[in-house]
Amino acid sequence: MEKRILGIDPGFAILGFGAINGQVSQQSLQSPPVNMLDFGVITTPKDMDMGQRLRVLYDDLHELIKEFQPDLVAIEKLFFYRMGNTILVAQARGVIMLVLAQHNVTYVEYTPAQIKQALTGYGNAEKLEVQEAVARELALSEIPTPDDAADALAVALTAWYQI
Catalytically active residues are 9, 76, 148
Q: Where are the alpha helices (DSSP H) in 1-70?
A: 50-68
Strand 2-9 versus strand 14-23 pairing type: antiparallel
Angle, nearest 10°, between helix axes 127-137 and 112-120? 50
The Cα–Cα gap between 109 and 26 comes to: 24
47: DSSP letter: T
Q: Hey, how many other C-beta atoms are within 10 angstroms of the C-beta on 140?
A: 14
